[in-house]
Chains A and B, each alone.
Chain A
Amino acid sequence: MKLRLLYIVAILSCLIAVLPPLWAFYVSLVVHRPSGGGLGFDNYAEVFSQQAFWGSLWHSFATAMSATVVSVLLGSMAAYGMTRFGRGFNRLALVILAIRMIPSIVLVIPFYLLFRNLGLLDTISGLAVIYLTFSLPFAIWMIRGFFAAIPLDIDEAARIDGASSWTVLWKVIMPIATPAILTTAVLIFCFCWNEFLFALVLTDQNALTFLPLLMRFVPPQGPLYGQIFAGSTIYFIVPIIAIALIRKQLEGSFTAGSVK
């Protein structure tokens, strides 16, 4: 293909890919003042002045962080059990992958009914527990792949020195796998950060996360796009920074995971 045409099509595709967020950024800057319109940061100021905005950011962060930490810890243990004791657990691994695909809608109804009885509706811990339904299987699946790639000789050397399997996991394997585990943690954090359906149904006031909060910026006469997009712009910078930090790792694992 001609070099110029290649560049034109590629750049055009990039522009199309970022058009919706750019449009939203533009809308977030449009202001309506009595003195006339223009561009400014009024929407941002308006959103930042709302207690609910900061509260919801904290709730999103606390929920995503708790789910991430618990799934990475439990997932590392499970992955260690699946890779270090002779048996392959291939079938179990597939079951765990299948669990990750279960649609939220079938889980959210029973959890809503259960939490209503237990008084767990609208709590951060309740929501974080539900996030484990997809984050824990994902953690096990990913970390198992990383652990399987670490040669068993390393364990055996530590065993000969008298370390228990518990010590080997935390003192030998985990430090080696830290970059891979951090990648997994970032991905899980982003999944939880972007989750909407569970948060919409199961939180209300005390644990309202950011995405369901956005639904409250939709009065009957139509959404307050300026404020919605001002908040969203702040919100989605978090996963973008997180993913950018692990980009090299991600492209590598994509390659390792697919065809040779």
Chain B
Amino acid sequence: MLKSSRLGAYAFLAPSLLCLALIIGYPLVSAVSASLYRWNLMSGLHRWHGIGNYISILTDPATGQVAVVTVIYTVLSVVLELALGFGLALLIRQGLARKLMGFPLMRAILCLPVVIAPLIWAFYFRSIYSPQFGFFNIVLGWLGLSAVPWVNSPALALYSLVIADVWQWTPFMFAVILAGLLTLPGDVTEAARVDGASFRQILWRIELPLLQPVLLVAVLLRLIDALKNIDLFIVITQGGPGTSTEILNFYAFSTSFQDFQVGRGAALALIVFVIIMVLVMLLLASMRRFSRAESKA
């Protein structure tokens, strides 16, 4: 019985597993093999290079700059999203808890940016940042201030992209944290309040520790997504000015499809892959711990 039921399970799983093995397994193997060649699609050069691509990436002085840009972009975006998302979630929860008019609707409106295609969002911000007719510089003009070269200065461009990322994805953090807050056991906080705990004490001592697993999962999800972001870079800066916004993912893309060095590009893409898979392992581990804690409760 057990054996036949196991067979039954695999009969239903087989189509999906077969499909995934083909469309995930094949490209991964093929990417590894491509990364071992000096391979240029324009010149037709295709020669065995061993781990030469990896060595040249690791020894290239430009790589350090790419790493710094990638870390600044992802960490800064996610930290800001966490802080703002948390604040917004507390705010909207206040309104929802008091059953104030309009708050359910505002909760929905705040989530709107997440639904818009990141590429379209990138065009929004390219336009908002444009030097003469962009929204920001028009507003600065009204206020009598001088225009700011949002994405045209190497010092500012990366931070302008962080703003665009934060603007779109804070709502994601907000939605997840609010959902977490709303499902916290009300009786515990109520008991603390009766005992005279202040709002701040309840937040730091009770709610934050209870929310910690949700926050960890949300932060890891956003880190993974921020590392994968490419639309902003393709549309707004193309890695420039100079190399000031050359994030690793975009670097892999431009090496492969603008310089047509697919061997080196594949090596870079595999580095992105490994970094993301490490984060995914952390994510899965924290989710498991989380579900175990939940089943105990």
Q: Return the contact of A98 from the options B115, B176, B253, B280 (Cβ within 8 A).
A: B280
- Given contacts A81-B10, A102-B276, A211-B119, A113 and B127 within 8 Å (CB-CB): no
B residues 39-79 touching A (CB-CB < 8 Å):
none
Q: Which residues of A contact B239 (CB under 8 A)?
A: none
- Given contacts A10-B92, A20-B121, A196-B118, A78 and B127 within 8 Å (CB-CB): no
**Contact residues of B: prevailing secondary structure:** helix
- Given contacts A14-B110, A113-B262, A85 and B27 within 8 Å (CB-CB): no
Bound complex: CA of A114 vs CA of B210, how far in Å?
Answer: 48
Bound complex: CA of A102 vs CA of B25, how far in Å?
Answer: 11
B38 CB to closest chain A CB (Å) equals: 15
The answer to whether A123 has its CB under 8 Å from any CB of chain B is: no
Are A106 and B179 in contact, CB atoms less than 8 angstroms apart? no
Q: Which residues of A contact B224 (CB under 8 A)?
A: 101
- Given contacts A24-B127, A81-B11, A82-B9, A259 and B180 within 8 Å (CB-CB): yes
The answer to whether B272 has its CB under 8 Å from any CB of chain A is: yes
Q: Mark B236-253, 1 if CB is under 8 A from A, else 0.
A: 000000000000010011
Are B16 and A136 in contact, CB atoms less than 8 angstroms apart? yes
- Chain A interface size range: 35 or more
Interface with A: B101-109, B154-162, B189-197, which one? B101-109
Residue of B nearest to A83 (CB): B9
The answer to whether A120 has its CB under 8 Å from any CB of chain B is: no
Residue of B nearest to A252 (CB): B179
Bound complex: CA of A140 vs CA of B231, how far in Å?
Answer: 27
Are B6 and A196 in contact, CB atoms less than 8 angstroms apart? no
The answer to whether B214 has its CB under 8 Å from any CB of chain A is: yes
Give 29 pairs: A residue, B residue, CB < 8 Å, sorted on A: A10-B92, A10-B95, A11-B106, A18-B109, A18-B113, A20-B128, A24-B120, A74-B16, A84-B9, A85-B6, A85-B9, A86-B2, A103-B249, A103-B273, A105-B252, A105-B269, A111-B27, A129-B23, A133-B20, A136-B16, A169-B12, A197-B230, A211-B117, A235-B117, A236-B115, A236-B120, A239-B117, A258-B176, A259-B210
User: Which chain A residues have a beta carbon within 8 Å of chain B's beta carbons?
Assistant: 1, 3, 6-7, 9-11, 13-14, 16-21, 23-24, 27, 74-75, 77-78, 80-82, 84-87, 89, 92, 94, 96-99, 101-107, 109-114, 129-130, 132-133, 136-137, 140, 165, 169, 190, 193-194, 196-197, 200-201, 211, 214-215, 222-223, 225, 228-229, 232, 235-236, 239-240, 243, 247, 251, 254-255, 258-260
